[in-house]
């Protein structure tokens, strides 16, 4: 069974992330979405809230699991019996950083392959930070994040 891990902060999940999850779920037998518990990034949502939102928007996908993790990604992947790390590439600007991360993860554990998926061009300009900034200015989040979670984001800026 081919198990892939799709890691990120997902603070919050965007339509760009969801697109990668949907496509990866068609390529791999199982996709484990790994939510990094990264207090250093001063997240808007707790890891539990982020996991719950991803659960909500992926409930139709039977082979998708969601969990949070702390520490190294390769250790999380191992704990899930995954052999593949999936990452989305939005623009060429993502490439250098992702290339470095892929090589580092390979050095940490050569058993893992990082597979890149090109983010759909209609989502290439979205990031979680942009979504938060827009929400802070009461901007319209339609089309940027799954509609089920828009109210949860707005709630944080009340
Ligand atoms: N659609 C929309 N946005 C996307 C996207 C997509 N397909 N892919 C990435 N993004 C956005 C993310 O939302 C994020 O936005 P933000 O910076 O505004 O929050 C940004 O692009 C960067 O994404 P990414 O590089 O995936 O960062 P991340 O913080 O979401 O996740 C980890 C980083 C968790 C993958 C990485 O830090 C990690 O593996 N940490 C564990 C520790 C470890 O093993 N480190 C390596 C060895 S030291």
| Digit-coded pLDDT (tens) for 80-91 | 999 999 999 998
Atom of ligand 1 nearest to the CA of 71: 42
Which residues contact ligand 1 via a Cβ below 6 A?
7-9, 11, 14, 16-17, 20, 36, 72-73, 88, 90, 101, 104, 119, 123, 126-129
Catalytic residue among 50, 87, 90, 132: 90
Q: Which pLDDT band holds residue 60 (cuts at 50, 70, 90)? A: very high
Q: Is 41 a catalytic residue?
A: yes
Mean of pLDDT values over 18-41: 95
Give tens-digit pLDDT for 4-18: 999 999 999 999 999
Strand-pair category, 84-89 with 113-118: parallel
Gyration radius from the chain CA atoms: 15
Which residues sit opposite 84 in a β-bridge? Answer: 4, 113
3-state secondary structure of 104: helix
- pLDDT at residue 39 tops 90: no
Catalytic residue among 17, 50, 87, 132: 17
**Alpha helices (H) along the chain:** 15-27, 47-57, 73-79, 92-108, 128-136, 150-156
Compute the mean pLDDT over every residue in the chain, rounded to the nearest whole number. 95
Q: Which helix (H) or strand (E) holds 113?
A: strand 113-118
Q: Is 55 a catalytic residue?
A: no
pLDDT in the model for residue 38: 85
């Amino acid at each position: 069974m081919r198990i892939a891990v799709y890691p990120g902060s997902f603070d919050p999940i965007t339509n760009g992330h969801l697109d990668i999850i949907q496509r990866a779920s068609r390529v791999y037998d199982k996709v484990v979405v790994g939510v990094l518990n990264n207090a250093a990034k001063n997240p808007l949502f707790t890891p539990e809230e982020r996991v719950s939102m991803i659960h909500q928007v992926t409930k139709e996908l039977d082979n998708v699991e969601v969990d949070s993790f702390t520490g190294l990604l390769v250790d999380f992947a191992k704990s899930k019996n995954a052999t593949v790390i999936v990452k989305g590439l939005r623009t060429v600007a993502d490439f250098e950083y992702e290339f470095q991360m892929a090589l580092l993860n390979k050095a940490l554990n050569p058993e893992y392959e990082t597979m890149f998926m090109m983010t759909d061009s209609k989502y290439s300009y979205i990031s979680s930070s942009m979504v938060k900034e827009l929400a802070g200015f009461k901007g319209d989040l339609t089309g940027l994040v799954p509609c089920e979670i828009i109210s949860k984001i707005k709630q944080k800026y009340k």
